[in-house]
């Protein structure tokens, strides 16, 4: 870590101004988060109080304990939604990381013809995400018979341009060409080199890709490509509870707080690696 020293380009007036800005922005981002946690512990009479209070007075856990009862009324059992969310998120994340790392390795470190052109296209396609492409994808997926299957969730995410982009930039900055040459002289093919040597040393990058992918899939909103209730995921259950209005606000927030735990855990585990990876994320033109 580079030691931050007090530099003489800093004025006290500027320090004050920027601290105020930091506090305002901090309040803007964290207060709603805090309010959602507060709300999840409020008993119903505190939810229906006027004027509403920010802090919870007599915290209860009924909002959490009521969830199973509330969820038992669902048409499709809750466990099915949870299974869908978990399996889709984990499976797709693993597939994406493998596929993206292998492709990134080829783009970064091998003599494949046309790799520069392909990578330029990938880099440009960062502009477009699954939401902006939804209609053309819908038509194509209908033709492929993918609509209303798990593939409709998985397929758009496996070839995420962001993953390949981040991984390739990271490899550019962190893997010396001599390493590849040494492995090749030892008689290893490109695939063996990738699998035995490269994959273990790009761990920070694949942790980063995993976080972004897992987060996106875990909170993936309802898509127009799934109609079958049995194939839907946890965010759908959330929106069903939300329609209960303020009286259900405590339950909604309890569910929200529970839902945010997995991505937060993944982030906390991978934090240092993510920062290390993101420092290579620049687009070179």
Partner 1 sequence: MTNAATPSVTAAGTSPVPAGSGERRKRHGQRHEQLTLLLMVAPFLVPFALVTILPMLSSVVLSLFSYDMLSMPSFQGLDNYLRMFLFDNVFLIAMKNTLVLAAITGPVGFFLAYILAWLINEYSPLKRSLLSFLFYSPALAGNVYFIWQILFSGDSYGFINGFLLQIGLIAEPIQWFRDQRYSLLIVMVVQLWLSMGITFLANIAGLQSINPVYYEAGAIDGIRNRWQELWYITLPSMKGILLFGAVMQIQATFSISYVATVLTGFPSVNYTTHTIVTHLIDVGTVRYEMGYASAISVMLFVVMAFIRVLVGKLINMTGR
Type and span of the H or E element at 239 = helix 234-242
Quick one: 61 or 275, whose CB is closer to partner 1? 275
State which of residues 215, 232, 251, 270 lies at the interface with partner 1 (CB under 8 A).
215
Residue 99 in contact with partner 1, rule: CB under 8 A: yes
Quick one: 47 or 60, whose CB is closer to partner 1? 47
Residue partners of 104: CB distance under 8 A and separation at least 6: 163, 164, 167, 168, 170, 171
Residue partners of 122: CB distance under 8 A and separation at least 6: 107, 161, 164, 165
Among 55-63, 70-78, 130-138, 175-183, the segment contacting partner 1 (CB under 8 A):
130-138
Among 32-40, 55-63, 64-72, 73-81, the segment contacting partner 1 (CB under 8 A):
32-40
Residue 48 in contact with partner 1, rule: CB under 8 A: yes
In the complex, the smallest distance separating the C-beta of residue 136 from partner 1, rounded to whole angstroms, is: 3
> Under DSSP, is residue 269 helix (H, G, I), strand (E, B) or coil?
helix
In the complex, the smallest distance separating the C-beta of residue 202 from partner 1, rounded to whole angstroms, is: 15
Residue 103 in contact with partner 1, rule: CB under 8 A: yes
* Secondary structure of 173-224 as H, E, C letters: HHCCHHHHHHHHHCCCCHHHHHHHHHHHHCHHHHHHHHHHHHHHHHCCCCCC
Burial of 81 (0-12, 13-18, 19+ CB in 10 A): buried
State which of residues 84, 92, 137, 210 lies at the interface with partner 1 (CB under 8 A).
137
Q: Is the dihedral of CA 138, 144, 147, 149 positive or negative?
A: negative
Residue 284 in contact with partner 1, rule: CB under 8 A: yes
Determine the Cα–Cα distance for residues 257 and 262; give it in Å rounded to an integer: 10
Quick one: 102 or 202, whose CB is closer to partner 1? 102
Site string for partner 1, 184-203 (x = CB under 8 A): xx-xxxxxx-x---------
Determine the Cα–Cα distance for residues 66 and 284; give it in Å rounded to an integer: 52
Residue 74 in contact with partner 1, rule: CB under 8 A: no
Residue 41 in contact with partner 1, rule: CB under 8 A: no
Of residues 237-266, which lie at the interface with partner 1 (CB under 8 A)?
A: 238-239, 242, 245-246, 249, 252-253, 256, 259-260, 263-264
Q: Does a cis peptide bond (omega within 30 degrees of 0) precede residue 85?
A: no
Quick one: 62 or 204, whose CB is closer to partner 1? 204
Quick one: 171 or 252, whose CB is closer to partner 1? 252
In the complex, the smallest distance separating the C-beta of residue 91 from partner 1, rounded to whole angstroms, is: 14
Residue 9 in contact with partner 1, rule: CB under 8 A: yes
């Amino acid at each position: 870590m580079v030691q931050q020293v007090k530099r003489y380009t800093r004025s006290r007036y500027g320090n004050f101004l920027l601290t105020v800005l930091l506090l305002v922005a901090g309040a803007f981002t964290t207060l709603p988060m805090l309010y959602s946690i507060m709300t999840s512990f409020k008993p119903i009479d505190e939810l229906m109080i006027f004027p509403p209070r920010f802090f919870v007075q007599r915290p209860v856990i009924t909002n959490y304990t009521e969830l199973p009862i509330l969820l038992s009324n669902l048409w499709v059992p809750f466990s099915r939604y949870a299974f869908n969310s978990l399996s889709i998120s984990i499976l797709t994340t693993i597939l994406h990381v493998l596929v993206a790392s292998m492709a990134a390795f080829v783009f970064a470190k091998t003599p494949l013809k046309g790799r520069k052109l392909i990578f330029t296209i990938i880099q440009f396609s960062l502009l477009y995400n699954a939401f902006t492409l939804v209609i053309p994808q819908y038509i194509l997926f209908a033709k492929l018979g993918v609509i209303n299957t798990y593939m409709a969730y998985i397929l758009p995410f496996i070839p995420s341009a962001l993953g390949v982009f981040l991984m390739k930039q990271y490899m550019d900055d962190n893997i010396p060409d001599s390493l590849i040459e040494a492995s090749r002289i030892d008689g290893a093919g490109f695939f063996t080199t990738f699998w035995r040597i490269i994959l273990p040393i790009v761990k920070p990058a694949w942790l980063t890709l995993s976080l972004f992918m897992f987060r996106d899939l875990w909170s993936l909103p309802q898509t127009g490509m799934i109609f079958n209730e049995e194939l839907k995921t946890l965010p759908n259950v959330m929106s069903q509870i939300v329609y209960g209005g303020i009286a259900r606000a405590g339950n909604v927030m309890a569910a929200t707080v529970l839902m945010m735990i997995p991505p937060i855990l993944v982030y906390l585990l991978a934090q240092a690696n993510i920062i290390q990876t993101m420092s290579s994320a620049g687009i070179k033109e």
